[in-house]
Structure 1
């Protein structure tokens, strides 16, 4: 324990302080994924437009498989997009709730910060007990 930590009961406060930045940054990343998945799904659907309804679709058995795979990917992207959208809000909620909790805890300790700090422990804690005390007698 350093000199400051020994003399200042609030010396660890800065190390325990909550910061919103990681949560807000993660929420921004989730929103970006939400947007990019929407764009990717749109481009996938657009690239397959007319392919399965063309006059020659019946000539290629692989087009049926392609339709199944495309539908599967569209479902997966939609699910992931929805998850990313809800995750962004949840991450922001965590940041807000932790900040509120930190402020409440800080306010709860506020009255204690103004108390005088006793630099040395009471004499009863620094003085070894007498041998009479150790044998069950009085230490006074």
Structure 2
């Protein structure tokens, strides 16, 4: 049934001829072997991406405001140059997170929607084959 090397490994594992997806359950229990998914994790991830986008914008604004006016009276100090460098670095990072979350949110929402549409389409297609036909198929 399997190549010799695979068969030997399966025999050693005690699962000769019984391969399945880990998420599909087992013949002796589980969920009957059906793969299940939900739009909920995708929708929740989209919500987190939105929250991160909003929060990074707020944090960046607060960080920038906290540093405004810091240069007054500190011209020439090495610590001010370091502080300016650190501020620029954090602003760059926060902007990158904000931008990435902005692009992830709609993609995650689209994935949740698309999975629901695919499920409905597959269910509809399968129903045509499982329902008795009035045309004597």
The TM-score, its normalising length taken from structure 2, stands at 0.68
The aligned runs of 1:93-112 (5 Å cut-off) are 93-112=110-129
- What's the C-alpha RMSD, in Å, of the aligned pairs? 2.0
- Could you tell me which runs of 5 or more consecutive residues in structure 2 were left unpaired when the two chains were aligned: 1-26, 133-137
**Alignment partner for residue 70 of structure 2, among 26, 37, 51?**
51
Aligned length: 104
Query: CA deviation digits over 1:84-127, x for unaligned, max 9?
Result: 11111110010111111111111111122225xxxxxxxxxxxx
The residue number in structure 2 matching 1:127 is: none
- Higher relative contact order (Cα pairs below 8 Å, separated by 6+ residues): 1
The residue number in structure 2 matching 1:137 is: none
Cα distance in structure 1, aligned partners of 2:76 and 2:99? 37
The TM-score, its normalising length taken from structure 1, stands at 0.67
1:28 aligned onto 2:47: yes
Runs of 4+ in 1 over 6 A off after TM superposition: none
Q: Secondary structure at the match of 2:93?
A: helix
Cα distance in structure 2, aligned partners of 1:28 and 1:114? 39
